[in-house]
Structure 1
């Protein structure tokens, strides 16, 4: 395929770059909040609580972003199905980056009291609202430009944004984590948030080159644009929508247990140094990216649903061995735990974009895949760090944590089997 712009649409390089760069920047913005919640927000914004309660409060603030994400999915999905995919991608990128930059400027509880956590919650909600509309648009801008036989591979580029966001956010915090504690708590933690403004400029420039997708153009040509995409979605595809929401739980549940909760658990319960854990999670993201590539290619060859089922099965199996390895307190064992978890996530991520594109008609596809993905993220991602912290505080054991994660992943394994996939996505 030629790598130049043509009259039929943007080049493959432009499409994949826009999908990859934009999601990477938005997930960087999103994940630095999770890292900060594990490392500093409890101390700076909830100092009136005990250590455990402050951590739970910080994770609760982190969870507020997940609550806003389904609302963002419905909002931006509605306009993405009515106006187009491209414009929503630019808007969500600007909103997320602006909220992230403002978090880096926030005064702490010591400076303004209760106003500090209230402002933090408000910006987190705004951040979550915009991220809620990001994933669906980024997936569709890639998959709806691709031939049916390449949709999973194209969709996997949007999925790269998650591990790359983790990688870059961890790199940013790793760069400042070596500062003395006083400096880190005073100004060092702010640097990763403030850097967001530079990344947003890059993302907007890349996405401005996009044209809307062929599938959406075909809907417009036959005057098939839905007036109420969400209502039509619920009326015509309620079963697939409900199952897709539940099938989306395992990837964020596994991911947030590792990249967010483990930063707290590993330092307080397993005795790891903060830079060690950050470095191990950073290294595991490279495995995650490689697994996404392989899974995306395999999904196009063997079927996206089959590969996603395989990933869900490994997600059910891995939680108990993962915690057992981390509990050894040895960095090599913990690294193995995180690397395998990255493969588990990568298998599901590589297939998910192609699979979800095949579930819904183009008239309401942006709404359908966005709501399903974000509802799964809310259940699997928002609750997991909070429940894990509470379970460990109550029991002092990692076994209930592993059991909880296994149960969430089992829900995904069962429900994905019931999804009805189209033979080829249609517009």
Structure 2
């Protein structure tokens, strides 16, 4: 299997960068990006409602906090256009250094924002602004990482290489959730006053390490080939919209469960478990930590399987299992029994992780090398735009239903169906490209 399914594919020239360095660079970079992004999600569920959106109704305050969470996803399509253009014109490597800088600085700065009681309305304005910057940078990060990894991959190992950026999600989740779990040991007043800021400020030193590692990786062979043949697209995003709009929407549908489904069973689940069901924050953070730890194994195993089994089949399997488990998982969480809630989160995240693992393999196969960065970024971040509103939609459904669990289960089931459609569409697209 190879991502070079299009007519512009040629003999991949040998990459000078050592494979270990490529693997390290994509994992470290995406781990920092996901740490920064998940950190905001955890804080939105536990802290921001009281720090920046104080109100009498906790659910309304949570909705306001999740609205700012969604802003980051709303900004991602813009980031996809900007960084997709740069990735297809100046190169994958240089673009990924820019995205890393932006998200690291914006995340660290969140830890410096005074709360609403100190500076009033400027507090949420500053928070939303920095979240917007986070979203723009993240809009170009994931696509670039999976493309850089897959284009550097030795032939026949694209699956394990392109799945590596997906390790950034559980690693970032573990670090961010672990930080809040550890800080939860502080007295409540101390945590509220300044303790929650520590994980955000830690983004600054982590950024320095990630930049150093990523700077050591060379440009991808596929981009070098496009540049050498003077085939760089002048407006790659427009070319995607003109020549491959179906592929872009197929990519979005396939990626939807990896974003919308994932944040439903993590970010929203933390808020739902602590605010509605009555579980402790330590129970919910333990659940997400345990799920993320197992997710690392799931991603590694699935990535290796993708070099032996068609990635589309793996993606379909993950979506179908997630759809089947939607109802029992949500109702287990709603039971209020800590052990059952933890088990539900750990189990439901794994089939989502299976699909997520091979999304990075499949999406680059849908686009030619000259528009690959833009195509993957746009498709993935359209899913991100819609998926970012899933916790907000779920909270609204909770309000409308009188805190019933069944609308949440139905929402997860629908998300799984959408991604099944995306996987089937991707299979048709790839078969057509391979036949041409």
TM range (shorter): over 0.9
1:299/1:306 contact within 8 Å kept: no
Instruction: Give the distance between the partners of 2:371 and 2:84, measured in 1 at CA.
Output: 8
Q: 1:96 to 1:76 in 2, by over 3 A?
A: same
1:340-385: CA deviation from partner (whole Å, max 9, x where unpaired)? 12211221122111111111100000001111111112212x1111
Cα deviation for residue 68 of structure 1 reads 0.3
Q: Would you say 1:51 and 2:77 are equivalent positions?
A: no
Aligned-CA RMSD value: 1.5
Q: 1:63 to 1:92 in 2, by over 3 A?
A: same
Deviates more, 1:93-102 or 1:391-400: 391-400
Cα deviation for residue 62 of structure 1 reads 0.4
Tell me which residue corresponds to 1:353: 360
Q: 1:20 to 1:422 in 2, by over 3 A?
A: farther
1:124-153: CA deviation from partner (whole Å, max 9, x where unpaired)? 000110011000111111100113421121
Tell me which residue corresponds to 2:302: 295
Q: Would you say 1:235 and 2:242 are equivalent positions?
A: yes
Q: Would you say 1:31 and 2:35 are equivalent positions?
A: no
Cα deviation for residue 336 of structure 1 reads 1.7
TM-score, length-scaled by structure 1: 0.95
Instruction: Give the distance between the partners of 1:68 and 1:246, measured in 2 at CA.
Output: 18
Deviates more, 1:142-151 or 1:166-175: 142-151
Partner-residue secondary structure (3-state), 2:16: coil
Instruction: Give the distance between the partners of 1:360 and 1:158, measured in 2 at CA.
Output: 19
1:58-112: CA deviation from partner (whole Å, max 9, x where unpaired)? 0000000000011101100101000100011111111001001110000110001
1:27/1:166 contact within 8 Å kept: yes
Tell me which residue corresponds to 1:3: none
Tell me which residue corresponds to 1:14: 21
Cα deviation for residue 415 of structure 1 reads 2.5
Q: How does 1:116-131 map to 2 (within 5 A)?
A: 116-131=123-138
Aligned length: 419
Match of 2:151 among 144, 169, 175: 144
1:153/1:350 contact within 8 Å kept: no
Q: 1:349 to 1:415 in 2, by over 3 A?
A: closer
Structure 1, unmatched stretches of 5+, are: 1-5
Cα deviation for residue 424 of structure 1 reads 8.7
Q: Would you say 1:384 and 2:390 are equivalent positions?
A: yes
After superposing on structure 2, the runs of 4+ consecutive aligned residues of structure 1 that deviate more than 4 Å are 422-425
Match of 1:72 among 44, 69, 79: 79
Match of 1:276 among 283, 294, 298: 283
Deviates more, 1:202-211 or 1:241-250: 241-250
Instruction: Give the distance between the partners of 2:361 and 2:63, measured in 1 at CA.
Output: 36
Instruction: Give the distance between the partners of 1:194 and 1:231, measured in 2 at CA.
Output: 38
Q: How does 1:331-410 map to 2 (within 5 A)?
A: 331-380=338-387, 382-395=388-401, 396-410=403-417
Structure 2, unmatched stretches of 5+, are: 1-12
Tell me which residue corresponds to 1:111: 118
1:294/1:350 contact within 8 Å kept: no
Tell me which residue corresponds to 2:92: 85
